[in-house]
Structures are given as C-alpha cells and as structure tokens.
Amino acid sequence: MKINYNLDEQQFWEACFDGNIEEVQKLVQNQQLNINWQNYLGATPFYIACEKGHIEIVKLLLNDQRIDVNNAKYDDTTPFYIACEEGHIEVAKLLLNDKRISIRKKTNKGKTAFDIAKRNNHSEVMKLIKEEDTGISYETINSATINKIEIK
C-alpha cells in the first residue's frame, strides 16, 4: 500500500493530534491541503481531534466545507464514534448539532456510537445520542435505566 502525502498533511495531522490550534489555523488556510488525509490506520486529522477531545480544533474543522465528518478508519469507526468511546461530551454535543453526522453508522463489528458509549458507561453521552435520535429528553432518567436503553 502506497501512502501519498506531503509534509503539510503530516504537519496538519500532528497539529490536530497535539491540539495545536495555531498551527491548524495556519495550515487549513492552504486550499491545496488534503484536509481529509488519513494516516496508515485511516485516521483523519478531524478524527484524531475528536478522539483527543480538542474541541476548538473540532469547531474550526466543522466550519471548513472540505471536511468529511463521517470519514471512517479501517474498522469503520467514525469521528463521532471515537468521541463517544472516549466520553468527550462537549465534542459529542458539537457533532450532534451538525446535521452531516451519521449517528447510527455501524463499525465493521456492527457497533454504533451508542453501543460504545454504553459499554464504557458514558451515560451522559448515551443520553445525548438518545435525545438526538428520538427527540425525547432523558433528563430525568437515571444511569441504571439508561443502560437498559437500546437504539434500534
């Protein structure tokens, strides 16, 4: 497998990984930059910013029309999925407010973001997903009850 990239893509990915907002802001100005470049595992700069919980970088990238918000890694995990897996509630909220996000997308193992949030006991993330998916507020549901909820 041949990986094509230039130094700017690698720098951009690393800046997103490190949370270096100033570097991201500088590099994103380059319209030739492949903003959706993937590393050898398939992680994009946006994916890694979501994984690390770098909310300001996530906000910046969501405002760039070039970004593919659902670009998945080799295992079909998406930026939304990884934010939910890591329990990054503010990133999850931000992503749920973006209509481009696919909240029901499944990994190659058939798991959704809700499934991973449930497995990792991220009840606040579970509530957010369920509210977005159904339009029903779950503010009064306790964590024992929410662990019984399934998204069909």
What does the pLDDT look like over 33-62, one tens digit per residue? 999 999 999 999 999 999 999 999 999 999
Among 77, 27, 22, 30, residue whose Cα is nearest residue 54? 22
Domain that holds residue 89: 7-110
Cβ-count burial 35-45 (b if 16+ within 10 Å, e if not): bbbbbeeebbb
**Any domain includes 119:** no
Residues 6+ apart with CB under 8 A from 146: 123, 126, 127, 130, 138
142 or 35, higher pLDDT:
35
**Any domain includes 125:** no
**Any domain includes 151:** no
**Any domain includes 127:** no
Token pair 């909310």 in the structure block, residue: 55
Write down the pLDDT at residue 2.
Answer: 43
129 or 150, higher pLDDT:
129
**Any domain includes 18:** yes
Q: How far apart are CA 1 and CA 100, in angstroms?
A: 30
**Any domain includes 51:** yes
* pLDDT tens-digit readout, 102-133: 999 999 999 999 999 999 999 999 999 999 88
CATH no. for residue 64?
1.25.40.20
**Any domain includes 144:** no
Measured between alpha carbons, how far is residue 54 from residues 5, 17, 94 in Å? 23, 8, 12
Give how many domains the chain has, as a whole number.
1
Burial of 141 by CB count in 10 Å (0-12 exposed, 13-18 middle, 19+ buried)? middle
Write down the pLDDT at residue 135.
Answer: 57
